Structure 1
């Protein structure tokens, strides 16, 4: 990239690429920022804001575009559609950018990329919106799935599902949290340091940042207002990993012990695998299995960086592990493929790429994986099932169905007493299970169930 490319140019390219390739915008964003010549944190912040915000608010923006463009937004060239979304996002949601500047910059991008007619269209749409802005006012308290979907920019089917599962008040809190930018959270590697020492070192390196211990994970650190922590020497030396606080609870709920023999059945990219090995004090054995060949290397690279030698990696479908593996593990973690509805803050594309039909197919896959995982647990051993979603069909209902078919397993509610008080007070606790919603701790939505295989 050359140094003439502005923050808005980079943001528009990311939005176009995400739409054309179906790639996650967070990956495209990280790659683009790394390759860009933007050195001012404000410019880099603007790229991030425009990309995430435009995607987060897509259906609200399209509602406006479809009423201002004669044949609707779908009739436009894809790049023009993305440019209009980005321009309208600035006008409707970014108070810090003057309307005149937003229109001027957006029209300038249209001129540089297309012919005069396109810049005229873009100019006309944006100015019409400003003249008629009251036409798109929404109720102060939306009370049905359509107005809620527009006010909080979620697909209507998803709004209905959340209202059915958690009630309207909680659904609104979840959607509002989904539209807020996520914090950066780190997991301390106790094989290298302790949390207090790491916090002190990070404060020295980033004096402008806020660095504080997590209230929900004993290894967690919440970091905001600093640089890219993946480039710090302490990261390369394995002092910490970047991981969401809710995700850290998976290994803490499983509570593996040094000397255990364990299996992480859907392990890539290896964050939870490494956390398990850290809690085992790098003693015992831990097999990390994943079906995706291109991701297996990520687990090995991560383990080497953290200095964790007990992790052995194999590319395999959990459902096809050899029969001799049956009943041979003290614990099995199944962090199952899921709809990902709990990580919308980090991957806003999920809102628009998932469908109810996809959830149904995932429920079938999860059921098969749970059956396979159950066969691998020793009598007296532990099976932990986790997802990063809030959909009951993938969580509580999935576990209830499993327990009904496998009476040798039972819920293990004893671990709940070990959880931090804040988690016990605010999360949704079941019989041996835990559901965290995004608004409760400003963390990812996560479900975790701990099950024991009874002896005899």
Structure 2
């Protein structure tokens, strides 16, 4: 395996699993969730407690990498250069240890240090093990006792770059940044589901899930009439209610986005950047499974998941469903011939974005946004997709543009540029911002625009 993970370490405990996943994420560009699932699946001997620890170590370390590296550099002879000179796996063994020392009060610091030192002595060298022992014990010696109750959130907040804070401040004002970030990071324990109202009402689903998950804390959502907020329920896709298509697992803010489309039975609806189809399912629900729904995504496998999910929910039997694997930055593909001649009643663009509104669920986000070119690429994609979307909206139809982030350059600038080129195109324009600290959802910027009756696209 690349990233210099010792072969024998691939069968180790939760700490070694975490170091492996971090190495794959850093050195190979792997997505953390997928790499973690693969590592756990390859180690069936891990019990539930160790699987939970591996998950905490991976996600926690990813959220706090700059802080962990700064602590290591503070006590290394040559500072940051000493840490950068390490091979990826060794560096991540140290990061896992530092995260345990600084963030987890249930693990004795000495146990975290000893585990890292033993791993490096076994699979690297006595010299490196000695270096690790000296640095880690100095870090442990400065650990607060007891740790603050919100220590993990504090560390994650310290790790968020100034440039990201400035970008969020461009939309919300700098005075709101700390509140938004803290609320986003504190949401990690809460999940949301969306009731399928064609099969069950929300109160009945709440009672059903409470029976299936006796220890769960379940309450109605605050922003979506279809949402339930759930804690301590485990993986809900194993419930019989899920298998019967009574609900879907979807963050509440994402539900609000799709509900704002206002799709109705018999409409022609287009979902661009549809992904695995969470918002497509909301649109199909609003349509009561009747009408035309076309979903576009670059990845065929995601569209297969979309089809399977709509079938599970009982939404596709009478729906004219079309899925199109298209790179919208290049062209229209088969959608060009399948689209209605006069366009669609609703076109939704859930554009690729930095995802800063989803910090609770995306621990590797900062790792993927380190390069300024990543931001430029995202805004170019958003602009290109939105320009294609405009052409498909029929007069009087709705264009819904949304991003799950909280920056002006992604949330507002593409829409403003599009409308500036088309004076009079919008008959009505509603802008909505969802904030973790105000609305209790992920962060979104949403534009709902009704096209005027006789203006060229």
TM-score (norm 2): 0.86
Q: Tell me the matched-pair count.
A: 425
Per the alignment, residue 267 of structure 1 pairs with 274
Is 2:412 aligned against 1:453?
no
Of residues 410, 415, 427, the one that matches 2:426 is 410
Is 2:77 aligned against 1:63?
no
Superposed, 1:158-197 pairs within 5 Å as 158-180=164-186, 181-197=188-204
Does the Cα contact within 8 Å between 1:266 and 1:290 map onto a contact in 2?
A: yes
Where 1:254 maps in the other structure, the secondary structure is coil
Distance in 2 between the 1:317 and 1:100 partners? 51
Kindly provide the CA deviation profile for residues 50-86 of structure 1, in whole angstroms up to 9, marking residues without a partner as x: 1111010110111112222333311011111111111
**Which stretch shifts more, 330-339 or 352-361?**
352-361
Q: CA RMSD in A?
A: 2.5
Per the alignment, residue 350 of structure 2 pairs with 335
Is 2:128 aligned against 1:113?
no
* Residues 28, 171 of structure 1: alpha-carbon distance in 2 compared, 3 angstrom cutoff: same
Kindly provide the CA deviation profile for residues 268-307 of structure 1, in whole angstroms up to 9, marking residues without a partner as x: 1111111110111101110111222333222222222222
Per the alignment, residue 378 of structure 1 pairs with 394
Kindly provide the CA deviation profile for residues 341-392 of structure 1, in whole angstroms up to 9, marking residues without a partner as x: 2222211211121133322232222222222111111111111011111111
Structure 1 segments, 4+ long, off by >6 Å, are 1-4
Kindly provide the CA deviation profile for residues 4-42 of structure 1, in whole angstroms up to 9, marking residues without a partner as x: 742222222221221222122122233444554367543
Per the alignment, residue 423 of structure 1 pairs with none
Per the alignment, residue 96 of structure 2 pairs with 86
Is 2:333 aligned against 1:347?
no
Per the alignment, residue 217 of structure 2 pairs with 210
Where 1:173 maps in the other structure, the secondary structure is helix
TM-score (norm 1): 0.86
Structure 1 runs not aligned, ≥5 long: 135-147, 413-430
Structure 2 runs not aligned, ≥5 long: 1-7, 145-153
**Which stretch shifts more, 251-260 or 325-334?**
325-334
Per the alignment, residue 140 of structure 1 pairs with none
Kindly provide the CA deviation profile for residues 152-182 of structure 1, in whole angstroms up to 9, marking residues without a partner as x: 2112321232234433331112232343324
Distance in 2 between the 1:283 and 1:350 partners? 38
Aligned-pair CA distance for 1:222:
1.2
Does the Cα contact within 8 Å between 2:265 and 2:286 map onto a contact in 1?
A: yes
* Residues 202, 150 of structure 1: alpha-carbon distance in 2 compared, 3 angstrom cutoff: closer
Does the Cα contact within 8 Å between 2:435 and 2:442 map onto a contact in 1?
A: yes
Where 2:164 maps in the other structure, the secondary structure is helix
Does the Cα contact within 8 Å between 1:152 and 1:176 map onto a contact in 2?
A: no
Does the Cα contact within 8 Å between 1:331 and 1:383 map onto a contact in 2?
A: yes
Distance in 1 between the 2:156 and 2:280 partners? 39
Where 1:432 maps in the other structure, the secondary structure is strand
Does the Cα contact within 8 Å between 2:167 and 2:408 map onto a contact in 1?
A: no
Distance in 2 between the 1:2 and 1:207 partners? 38
Kindly provide the CA deviation profile for residues 162-216 of structure 1, in whole angstroms up to 9, marking residues without a partner as x: 2344333311122323433242111111222222122111111111111111111
Distance in 2 between the 1:35 and 1:237 partners? 30
Does the Cα contact within 8 Å between 1:287 and 1:312 map onto a contact in 2?
A: yes
Distance in 1 between the 2:166 and 2:312 partners? 44
Distance in 2 between the 1:227 and 1:330 partners? 39
Where 1:105 maps in the other structure, the secondary structure is helix
Per the alignment, residue 260 of structure 2 pairs with 253
Does the Cα contact within 8 Å between 2:355 and 2:365 map onto a contact in 1?
A: yes
Does the Cα contact within 8 Å between 1:388 and 1:447 map onto a contact in 2?
A: yes
